[in-house]
Chains A and B, each alone.
Chain A
Amino acid sequence: DAKTTQPPSMDCAEGRAANLPCNHSTISGNEYVYWYRQIHSQGPQYIIHGLKNNETNEMASLIITEDRKSSTLILPHATLRDTAVYYCIAFIVNDYKLSFGAGTTVTVRA
């Protein structure tokens, strides 16, 4: 799987959009970009995934650059409950090895 690079931490203000960057410059054509988050002492939670096109669901939006070398997860209106570690993962469908890195620790401040 392609290695992803995320900033170790970031702060954002409650009620504002949180933009979480991820670099995956070696991503291959059959690798999807998946995002998960892990709130303290809980299991990880799936957020969203995409291949080429931008995606949106009730939790977040995923913007993937045209060359697919980077992506941004957008939490449109961050709340205190969005404080968590966010993981960006490049994953080959048909491969069971979903590998987590260190992620970005996001702290939402009032």
Chain B
Amino acid sequence: ETGVTQTPRHLVMGMTNKKSLKCEQHLGHNAMYWYKQSAKKPLELMFVYNFKEQTENNSVPSRFSPECPNSSHLFLHLHTLQPEDSALYLCASSQDGGSGTGELFFGEGSRLTVL
């Protein structure tokens, strides 16, 4: 139990579907992150939220839409994805206090397959 919970753990969707990934952290942290890990590739930072405000969008296509309603929850809304978007999507959180820290706590990830 890492304190960061991701659901669902596995998701299969068609290219025309709309689905969402959910992340919840129970650590009282202020910053939350989405990373993407494709097969045989390094983790790629997608989005960063600090105190519910988006501070980083790493040139992510608009078919990925993040939402951070509060400091404990982070969503990734998925719409008209492509097969190459199949990957492990990892959520992380950190205790920030307004400055970035490199100590991130990761969830177990959501394995997404796009057919």
Interface residues in chain A, defined as those with a beta carbon under 8 Å from any beta carbon in chain B: 32, 34, 41-46, 49, 89, 91-103
Contacts and interface: CB of A to CB of B under 8 A. Distances in A.
Contacts of B104: 44, 46, 98
Given A43-B108, A44-B43, A49-B103, A96 B2 contact: no
A43 B102 contact: no
Nearest to B45: A97
Contact of A93 (B2, B45, B88, B100): B100
A43 B2 contact: yes
A98 B107 CA distance: 16
A96 B50 CA distance: 9
B109 A43 contact: yes
A94 B100 contact: yes
Interface in B20-47: 31, 33, 35, 42-43, 45
12 contacts: A32-B102, A34-B102, A34-B103, A43-B92, A43-B108, A45-B2, A45-B106, A89-B102, A91-B102, A96-B56, A98-B104, A99-B45
Contacts, number: 60
Contacts of A97: 45, 48, 56, 58
Contacts of A43: 2, 4, 90, 92, 106-109
Contacts of A44: 43, 90, 92, 104, 106
B96 to A, nearest CB: 8
Nearest to B111: A41
A93 B101 contact: yes
B55 interface: yes
Interface string B53-89: 0011010000000000000000000000000000010
